[in-house]
Amino acid sequence: MSQAEDFIQKKLTERLQLDNFRVLKTVSGLVDFCSNDYLGFARSEKLKALVEAEIQQYPNYPNGSGGSRLLTGNTAFTEALEQQIADFHQAEAGLIFNSGYDANLGLFASLPQRGDTIITDELIHACIIDGVRLSYANRFIFKHNDLNDLEKKLQNAKGIIYVAVESVYSMDGDEAPLADLVTLAQKYNANLIVDEAHATGVFGSGLVQKLKLENEVFARTVTFGKALGSHGAIVLGSENLRNYLINFARSFIYTTAPAFHQLLTTKIAYQLLKSSQKEQKKLNKLIAMFKKEVQKKHQYQLIESNSAIQSILIPGNAEAKQKAAFLQKNGFDVRAILSSTVAAGMERLRICLHSYNTEAEIIRLSSAINNPLSANNHEP
Ligand SMILES: Cc1ncc(COP(=O)(O)O)c(C=O)c1O
């Protein structure tokens, strides 16, 4: 075996021993309690039909963009869409990236410079961590949603200061205290950057707007692959920030621009979002119902959250996997989130609720979770 193959084998064996070996799966026929398709847009026949109808207006649309935005991949359609989305979110401007990962990577890798400071919540998403790692700025981490700890870090921060949070945290589903964060950031002249990936759609246009803080935050990342059911993301901020990212964000510059079909789907998804109050209301009702049902027996700790992400702590990779397997056998697509994705001891079932789930499914899921046999992986 070559040295490289040896290394690969060793790392994979380590994963197997730690019970966190990742495999790609295809799942069908299970009730979806796993995807981020919170409002059902990704599976929406209506969205598909609207896109198919609208695309007739563009008989010469290309299958692919053919190049990066700075070369052949830019169109008037893309620029107009960016402005429409920025207007929707009451931002001055926006720049579309190929994914939320690319958006955060590009923003955090390019903006903070050597001598500046980025302060991130300890539960911040991997794409922000990766972006920060690519920058030369100092990085401080504050305890999750802990304003006192953040203030200590702010007191020691140098240069231009950036604070990065998620309005709804992707693994815990809880919310950042945005209004207090704004006040604290202002006290230290820090720039607050909010990732709205899991808030957009679930909380209307996002939590920043719900709290009327759009003029108080420095930038926002909004992703299209979750409640909007499409793919891609936008960084919202000033026109200057947009121009800066066009010039310096490498994950924007050195990549092929999104295909027209994807952009059109995003455009129509935004139109649907404007009239999705019924879905949002139903989702909120199901969230409240799930919390009540699953806590009828106080068997497991449910992380406090009002969002579509409800996490039940099942410490231990093997234990969390076993519980998820039991639920899957009983017809539910529920996945375990293992360490190292979350801290050891915080392994969990991450249950995502959707407007297309039914009350009966929520009741069945909750009772399967609370089934005492589930820990042994037997049928109920
Ligand atoms: C908080 C957060 N930001 C960004 C991303 C990345 O978005 P995308 O899936 O569009 O790359 C995710 C997705 O997992 C996320 O949870």
Q: Is 36 noted as a catalytic residue in this protein?
A: yes
d(CA 32, CA 200): 20
pLDDT band at 379 (very low <50, low <70, confident <90, very high): very low
Is any ligand 1 atom within 6 A of the Cβ of residue 97? Answer: no
- The widest CA-to-CA distance across the chain, in whole angstroms, is 60
Is any ligand 1 atom within 6 A of the Cβ of residue 258? Answer: no
Best residue among 127, 175, 350 to mutate for probing ligand 1, ranked by most atoms within 8 Å of CB: 127
Is any ligand 1 atom within 6 A of the Cβ of residue 339? Answer: no
The CATH topology of domain 46-274 is Aspartate Aminotransferase; domain 2 (3.40.640)
Is any ligand 1 atom within 6 A of the Cβ of residue 125? Answer: yes
Which residues face 118 on adjacent strands? 139, 162
Inter-residue contact 82 to 235 (CB < 8 Å): no
Q: Is 89 noted as a catalytic residue in this protein?
A: no
Is any ligand 1 atom within 6 A of the Cβ of residue 374? Answer: no
Judge whether residue 21 has pLDDT over 70: yes
Which residue in the list 89, 198, 321, 354 is annotated as catalytic? Answer: 198
Is any ligand 1 atom within 6 A of the Cβ of residue 223? Answer: yes
- The chain-wide mean pLDDT, for the chain, equals 96
Residue 373: predicted pLDDT: 67
Q: Specify the ligand 1 atom closest to the Cα of 233.
A: 10
Q: Please choose, from the candidates 366, 373, 101, 95, the residue with its C-alpha nearest in 3D space to the C-alpha of residue 231.
A: 101
The CATH topology of domain 3-32+276-371 is Aspartate Aminotransferase, domain 1 (3.90.1150)
Q: Is 195 noted as a catalytic residue in this protein?
A: yes
Q: Specify the ligand 1 atom closest to the Cα of 224.
A: 10
Residue 78: predicted pLDDT: 98
Intra-chain end-to-end CA distance of the chain, in Å: 46
Q: Please choose, from the candidates 279, 364, 377, 372, the residue with its C-alpha nearest in 3D space to the C-alpha of residue 320.
A: 377
CA-closest residue to ligand 1 atom 4: 100
Q: Which of 86-100, 130-144, 359-373 has the lowest mean pLDDT?
A: 359-373
Is any ligand 1 atom within 6 A of the Cβ of residue 73? Answer: no
Give the model confidence (pLDDT) of 153-167 as tens digits.
999 999 999 999 999
pLDDT band at 372 (very low <50, low <70, confident <90, very high): confident
Which residue in the list 20, 135, 138, 170 is annotated as catalytic? Answer: 170
Residue 219: predicted pLDDT: 98
The domain segmentation of the chain, as residue ranges, is 3-32+276-371, 46-274
Question: pTM to 2 decimals?
Answer: 0.96
Q: Is 125 noted as a catalytic residue in this protein?
A: yes
d(CA 339, CA 19): 9
